[in-house]
Amino acid sequence: YAEKQGVTLCLEHLNTRDDTHPMKGHPGYQGDDVDYVANIVRQVGSDRVKMLFDIYHVQVMNGDVIRRIGQCQDVIGHIHAAGCPGRGELDASQEINFPPTMRKLLEIGYDGYVGQEFIPTRDPLAGLREAFAVCDV
């Protein structure tokens, strides 16, 4: 149906580890392994079914984000970004180094959007400006 309508569905990989807040983790979610989700998408075999690669969730559950972007490049349909730990702003207090991560997306030819999906801990517009600057490579 999605193919006929020209709509792309994205299956999101989520983490099941962080149970401190409903927006930080999703205990009990079946798709908590990035390889498992990527393989489901590959088995469907449609250009209209892709994976939503959420950098925060991949870091929490699987780590090795830059390598995993390369491994999943054939199935990535959209990107979400948030700092880790805590799903906060993309700043110097986070363990993810976003400029090299964004450069990897450019290297694999990703030309879609990167959705900023952090939970603000300070002025949201200032955090968004900082996230934009960090991701603009």
The active-site residue, picked from 3, 12, 107, 130, is 12
Q: Which of 3, 107, 117, 130 is catalytic?
A: 117
Question: Which phi and psi (to 5°) does residue 14 adopt?
Answer: -130, 155
Annotated catalytic residue 130: no
Our answer to whether residue 117 is catalytic in this structure is yes
Structure tokens at 133: 């600057």
Note the helical H segments in the chain: 2-5, 34-44, 55-61, 65-71, 98-107, 124-135
Q: Which of 90, 60, 58, 61 is nearest to 75 (CA)?
A: 58
78, 72 Cβ separation under 8 angstroms: no
CB atoms closer than 10 angstroms to residue 2:
12
Residues annotated catalytic, as ranges: 12, 117
